[in-house]
Structure formats: C-alpha cells, structure tokens
Structure 1
Amino acid sequence: MKSAWIAAFVLSLALPAFAADRARMAASIPAETHEKVVGYFPQWGVYDNYFVGNLVHSGAADRLTQINYAQGFIKDNQCVVADLQADMNLAYTMANSVDGIADDPTAILKGNFHQLQKLRQRYPRLRILLSLEGRASDFAAIAQSEVREGFVRSCIQRFVLGHLAPGVEAPGLFDGFDVDWEYPNAAQNEDFIALLAEFRRQMSAARPGLTLSIAAGATRDHIEAVDWQRVAAEVDEIGVMTYDYNGPWSHTTGLVAPLRSSNPNADTASKAIADFTSHGAPVEKLLLGIPFYAYQWTEVSGENNGLGTAGRPVRGNLNQSTAKILAATPDAKLYRDPISQAPWLYDGKNFLTFEDATSLHAKAAYVREQHLGGVMIWELSGDADDAPLLRVFAGK
C-alpha cells in the first residue's frame, strides 16, 4: 500500500501544544452514521512495538468495522505468508497480547495470526481481510489466464480455508481479500478484471459472504485506464488512495491529502472521487483514503508560512521524538488551509503536513454528503494510544 520506510506516527502525541484542543474536537463529534471504517494493520509493526493487542488497548477494535491485514505476498505464482516470524512464530507476551495471556512458546501457531484469532473471538462482528501486496509485475504475471485460477486457489486454501503450512491449520482466519494491484494500466484492464472475477468466483464457492476489496490509485491516468463499472461488479469495496498528493519525493512543500483546493488544477481527494464516479464506480463502494502519517521538509523559507515553497525533504522514519522536538520549537505554529481544513506545522525552518481532528471531521462530513461507502485508513499504528483520530469516524 505504501513504501515500508514510511513510519506512521501520532500527531496528537507529537504536538502536545495542540493535543488538548484536538481531543476536545474529537470528543465533540457525534456518531458518523454507518459507513465502513476500514483500517490497515501493519504486519511489520511488531518490530516497532505495535501489536495486535494495541487494537484492543487503544479501543480501535471497537471503532473499526474491518481490518485489512497487511500483508500477504505473491511468490512463484502462489499466495504466501509474507513474514513467518511476525505472522506465525513470534511469541506474544502478556502485555502485547489481545487477552493478556502470553503465547505458549511451544505452540505450533503464534504471532499475529494467533492474535487475530483471539481478536475475532472477542469482536465477532469485526471483519478481517488479508491484504495481498506485491510488485506490479507480480500481479501482471498471476493475472494471466494460464496462472490466475491456480493462484487464487492457493489464496483460498491458505488464508480462507486456513492451510497455513503443513500441520498448521487456522480455518476462517480471514473474511476475504484486499487486492493491492494499485495501478494496472489500460493494456492490463482485462486481466485485472478477470483476476477479480476469479477471486469472486472461488470465494463465493468457498464461503458465501466473503469480502473482496481493492486498493486503487487516485491518479487521473490510472482512473481512465480501468473499466470501473466492471470492476465494481466483482468487488465489494474500492479503497481510493486519496493521499500522497505531496511528499518527500518533491523539493516543494505541500499538503499530504487535501480534500479540496482553491486551485482548479490541483489534485485533491474530492476530485479523485468525482473522477471515479464519472468513470462508472458506484459511490457506495468507494472508500475515501485517509493517511495516519505525516511528511516533513526542512530548510523551508517563510513565504506563505512555509506552504508551497522550496524545502529539503526529510526521508526516513518519522517518529514521536522528531515531532515533539519540532513542536517544542518556540516559533512552531499550527496553520490551516481554509478550503481543505488541512493543517500544517511550521517553525520558520521545518514544515510538517498531517491530518488532525478538524481535517478528518471535514472528510467524515464529505463521506456522508457524497454517500460514500466509508473510509480506508493507512495505517492504524499512526494513531495515538487512545485512537483519537479513529474516533472522528467511529464517533465513540
């Protein structure tokens, strides 16, 4: 879904000067009706102290309708477990487990998958999908007519029927698949749709009611390359990646995920949604993509309070320490775009773009106004310990 080097972090913790105001705003937001609230859980989070148990301790599991577990991989035209250590072998402690019970180190199934089993028992209404990720070339290969039936069969066998490995069974672990072939081109449109149709056919045969979703790039050329009406006939959800409109690949600062813009030529989330619907995607299947991470530039001049000016992008893992240091700078100020309601932080040198309760409240209202299917969050470890950003959409 995103490059692994991007570390989601929590602005509500990172910006203590604004935390109280953000908490007040989040608490004042009423329930946001019944749209889907879908969040990606990062498999690799266990290497940075983010565990399945965090979903319980933060209250996130109560607020989500669906978890997309990132990730499964494509290897040799088969669906495979991406990280055996994180998924099946890591022995959870009492502190980071779902139920306060440590894993038996001799158990045949441990790790995130075992904790997801416990999470399902505790929250039976919560749907859990396996997010299938890989390179564009991998998806193009397994979508070929001579390969795709066997590939999909391997996904069903491993992640729905639960034949994880020889002697390791976890039937019903996942409720479907999230296919992250994000940017198929026009020449791949037919193969893309055929792959989704094969998933739908085999999923319906294996267990009626399984969910099929996709993550879709929000660029105009990608939207125009795909027959979205036919895609929508096969899938339950289209998670639109309405973020990364600006980031550290550019030497110009900008907002990571503006909802709207006064510039008619600017790319925005609302423009992407309009493009999808005009190309045949039904609004009720569209999920608005929400970033729970931030981007930073340094050596930024003071013009326009740092927005849209030259700067040196900060690459690598942004963390709480980085943001706290920036927030503690005497000249740090919070600014907000009046059109998109998107915030940024600027201290005269460093520029930080992120989401907060105000910008997310505007997006929640947009989802309701447009009758979208809900929101899709990348990714859950970016929220604070008590999930204040998630509360904006869940209303509790």
Structure 2
Amino acid sequence: MKKKNIAHSLIAAAVLFLAGTGLRAEAAPAKLNKGDTVVGYYTNWSSDKGYNPADIPAGKLTHLNYAFAKIDPAANTIAVANPEKDLKNFEQLRNMKKKYPGLKTLISVGGWDYSTYFSVVAATEESRNQFAAGCVDFILTHGFDGVDLDWEYPVSGGPAGNINSPEDKRNFTLLLSAIRNQLNAQTQRDGKKYYLTIAGAANSNYLNKIEAQQVVGLVDHIFVMAYDMHGSWDTYSDFGAPLYNPQERSPQYKNSVHDGVQAYLNAGVPADKLVLGMPFYGYIYEGVGAAQEGRYSTFSSARSISYNSIKGTYLNNPAFSSFYHEGAAVPYLYGNGIFISYENSRSIGTKAAFARNLGLAGVGIWELSHDSAGELLESARVGLIGA
C-alpha cells in the first residue's frame, strides 16, 4: 500500500508540473517513441454529430481504429456496417494518410453491437481461415494497415442474442493465429507490416475467458477498456473510471483502472503490450441524494454523456459544484439532484502518466468525437510523453 501511494503521489506531481507548462491543444505534436502509442477510436456514427474524418487530430495519434465493421455469418467474413457512410469515410481516411504517412489505420470488427457471430466464425478451422482471408482482403481493398478485434465477449457476456460457447476461449486464440498467419503471408508478398490488435475488458473475469499468454504473442497490443467500471446498470451512483479504488465505504462493488491493468500483469501479459484505454465520456445520474455530493446514492435514471456535453452544459453552470476526488483521481459534479462522473484534463493526464510509469505501450481513447476540441487528447499526450 505504501509503494502504491508513493507512486500515486509522484504521478500526480508530474502531471501537475506538466499542466503548468501552458501547452495548448494545437501545439505541434512531439515525435513518438517506443512506449508512446496513442490509439484513437473513430466511430462511423460520429459524422452524424458533425465530427468527420477531416476533424480527426491525426498528427497526435499513432493508430486510428475505425469502429465498427460487422460479421457476415453466411460468408464467414467481415463487412461494412453502413456502406454509404463507411465507404465515404474510408476514402477520407486514405486521403488523411497521404498527409500523415506515419499514422496506422485499423478496421475494428465487432464492438457491443456486432459481436454476435464471432463464436461462429471462430468455431472451425475452415471458418477461421475464411474470416482471416476476408480480413486481409478488406484491409487491402480499403487501405487499412490492420485489423482490431473487439469481441464482446468470448465464452459469455455481451448483449442479448450473442452466440457464445465454452470453446470460445481456445477458438479465440486459433482465430487470432489464423489472422496473424495470413497477415504475415501478405507481408511476405508486399513487404508491408500489418497490425493485429484486440480490445479487452479490464477485469480478471474477461481474462479467464481467453488464453492471455498465447493471445499476447499474436497481437501487436491489447487495448484495455479501462472504463465502465460503474454506470447506469448499477444500483448506486459511482465513478466510471476511478484510477484507484476510493478508500471510503460504498454500498456496492469496487473496481478501478489500477486493478484492471494489474489483472493483465498478473496474467503474465507484458506491460509493453498493453494500451490503457480511457473514456472521453462520463455518466450522469439523476435523482440522487445530497449526501457525499451525490456519490453512492440511489438514482432515478442514468446515461452516458460525452465530455463535449458536460463541458457545454454543466461545467460552467452555477447550479453545479465541481469536485476532484483525490483518492480515485477523477473529477465529478453535483447539483440539482444530479451527480456526474467524468474525466477532465487533470484526470486524463494522471492516467496517461500512470501508463508511462508502468511501462505500458501507451494510451487509447474511446472515442474521439466526445472531445471535438481535442483538449483531453492533448492532456493524454502530455501525461504520456511529457512534452
């Protein structure tokens, strides 16, 4: 406990120093080195909100994941989810890469809505090879540098209707192996490096459903979804992505970013294969009590809310008071019977410094349109690379 507190203090001090440098969001990006991976997810529904591929701060990313493609179970392959929208976006991404040739773009497959048939395509050698071949064809056709699998989730979990099987644990490894083999074969043909990544939940329950040590040898990195620690599905209001568990008593389970990352390290996953995923959104709980500024209260309704919306509606609203929980290292708002758990520049910078301190591969963002001005992204970069 003492060592963790010391490290926590050092991280916080470093971030406070960096925050005082006065760097602005439009500052030129520093050169990224090993351990400075910055992954941003761009969703195909972002353009519905007016956030287009041209708005992506590509110069401040190393990898851009386009979410999501879906699975065609009839052909055992991947397919665009919204052809009219996606194909236009793909063209813009190809043009973006002409300006930023160092940026790696990956097509993300699955996610919460499109993971239904992963178990099907992973089930046999034939279907795995078909899917792997489809991945290679897709990235070559549309100009991507690799594929990112967001299977939510192997063995069990995910939305109603997901197909799951106890065999998913082994078959996930075999599916990744088939994709890796075909990506390597394509590298032999054209001399280009192709990337394979996955996104995984930040808890030991998820890690018990995959063969972590075998998986990590097949992928370039694992994007740890270190958010949704609490949310609208709970009984009580709570922090969405606390870096550490608050020491105060709460009436429900505790989970933290630190615990999620530690679960991967305990499972034998090397730190430099982990990308710390961070949320550019929060949760708003309505109908909470006034005790503890709305923390750990029952609520009448709750939903996710983007940083853009929090900043535009609540941060400068005199009816709301701003707080920062030192133990959890996250901010929150309270007013009018409403509790809002979210991230700001300080907490994002602290999380990024935490990733740097542990020697992780870098940080990642879900998702870019939630912070259209790019201030949280800049704080992540500052915390990660110190410049």
Report the TM-score, using the length of structure 1 for normalisation. Answer: 0.79
Note closer, same or farther for the CA distance 1:26–1:314 as it changes in structure 2 (3 Å cut): farther
Following TM superposition, by how much is the alpha carbon of 1:182 offset from its aligned partner in structure 2, in angstroms? 3.2
Summarize the alignment of residues 238-277 of structure 1 with structure 2, pairs less than 5 Å apart: 238-263=222-247, 266-277=254-265
1:116 aligns with 2:93: yes
Cα root mean square deviation, aligned: 2.4
How far apart, in 1, do the equivalents of 2:380 and 2:305 lie? Answer: 26
Which has the larger displacement, 373-382 or 254-263?
Answer: 254-263
2:298 is the counterpart of 1:310? yes
CA deviation digits over 1:138-187, x for unaligned, max 9?
0000002231101111121122x21xxxxxxx4xx100000011321354
Question: What displacement does 1:328 show?
Answer: 4.9
Pair 1:84 & 2:74 matched: no
Paired residue for 2:380? 393
Q: Does structure 2 retain, via aligned residues, the 8 Å contact 1:306–1:348? A: no
Structure 2 letter corresponding to 1:180: D
Q: 1:233 is aligned with what amino acid?
A: G
Q: Is the 8 A contact 1:64 1:394 kept in 2?
A: no
Give the one of 129, 148, 153 matched to 1:178. Answer: 148
- Where 1:315 maps in the other structure, the secondary structure is strand
Name the structure 2 match of 1:72. Answer: 69
Number of residue pairs the alignment of both structures matches: 338
Secondary structure of 1:199's counterpart equals: helix
TM-score (norm 2): 0.81
Q: Which residue in 2 is equivalent to 1:282?
A: 270
Residue 53 (1) aligns with residue 54 (2): yes
Can you list the C-alpha shifts for 1:272-317, whole angstroms capped at 9, x where unaligned?
1111111121110011110011210111111111111111223376
User: In the alignment, which of 366, 378, 382 is matched to residue 354 of structure 2?
Assistant: 366
For 2:348 and 2:364, the matched residues in 1 are separated by: 12
Name the structure, 1 or 2, with higher relative contact order (CA <8 Å, separation 6+): 1
Report the 3-state secondary structure (helix = DSSP H, G, I; strand = E; otherwise coil) of the residue aligned with 1:121.
Answer: helix
What residue in structure 1 maps to residue 119 of structure 2?
140
Please tell me whether the aligned partners of residues 26 and 357 of structure 1 are also in contact (alpha carbons under 8 angstroms).
no
Query: What is the match of residue 193 of structure 1?
Result: 173
CA, structure 1 residues 378+391, in 2 after alignment: closer, same or farther (shift >3 Å)? same
Percent identity between the aligned chains? Answer: 31
Contact 1:37 1:376 in 2 (8 A): yes
Equivalent pair of 1:25/1:358 in contact (CA under 8 Å): no
**Whole-Å Cα distance in 2 between the matches of residues 393 and 315 of structure 1?**
25
Letter in 1 for 2:123: Q
Name the SS of the counterpart of 1:255 in structure 2.
Answer: coil
CA 1:187/1:219 → structure 2, altered by over 3 Å: closer, same or farther?
farther
For 1:218 and 1:319, locate their aligned partners in 2 and report how far apart those are by CA, in whole Å.
Answer: 22
